[in-house]
Amino acid sequence: MIKVGITGGIGSGKSTVCKVFKGLGIPVFEADIVAKQLMTSNPEIRQALIKVFGTAVYLPDGTIDRKYLAGLVFNDESLLAKLNGIVHPVVLKEFNEWCGTKQTPYILHEAAILFESGFYKMMDKIIAVVTDEEERIQRVMKRDGATIELVRQRIQNQMSDAERIKLTDFVISNNDNELIIPQILTIDKKIRAESIYK
């Protein structure tokens, strides 16, 4: 089974693109969502996070305090590396188990930090979803109620689209003036042609 990584910067529209692939019968492993769930539900991750970041990393209801955690790791590469070292191995285990339950021409592994996490090395193909920066800023401001400064800062902290494109097999341009479905259908056809599962 072909493993396809799909990534893109904040506000690029990865989720929208993944919905179209799901409509074509392709399972999508949403790594960012799985990671968030594991940070709340997995006892080993909980213990390790508390050891590194203190008890304040969890809210009274037992869920992760994402704002607090983001504030700690945002400008501290060593803390970010520790966080990734705790969470990523468990996400990888979940992904491998999930793959074992699928029998389709290919699967998608959706992750915002596909390259940064090293997960891209386990993929057979990679798709990048790219969008003009101004459009991304408007989308995220609307979606998250964030200020323009905060969104720009989040974009600057991520890999650029130019860097992503160099490392990918397929690019989906997701600007408002471009249709994504024909682009997705072309990619789907090419990947299915290489798969042993038809």
Residue 88 to residues 10, 82, 92: CA-CA distances in angstroms? 20, 10, 6
The predicted structure's pLDDT at residue 198: 56
How would you write the pLDDT of the chain (198 residues) with one tens digit per residue? 899 999 998 899 999 999 999 999 999 999 989 999 999 999 999 999 999 999 999 999 989 998 888 888 877 888 988 998 999 999 999 999 999 999 999 999 999 889 988 889 999 999 999 999 889 888 888 888 888 888 888 888 788 899 999 999 999 999 988 899 999 999 999 999 998 775
pTM of the model: 0.89
Strand order in 28-30's β-sheet?
28-30, 106-110, 2-8, 125-130, 170-173
Ordered structural domains, the chain, with CATH? 1-27+104-192 (3.40.50.300), 32-101 (3.40.50.300)
What integer pLDDT is reported at residue 66 of this predicted model?
85
Distance from C-alpha of 149 to C-alpha of 11, rounded to nearest angstrom: 15
Q: In 10 A of CB 51, how many CB atoms? A: 11
Cα first-last separation, the chain:
10
| CA-wise closest residue to 108 among 196, 173, 24, 12 | 24
Tokens 């993929």 -> residue: 123
3-state secondary structure of 8: strand
Give the number of residues written for the chain: 198
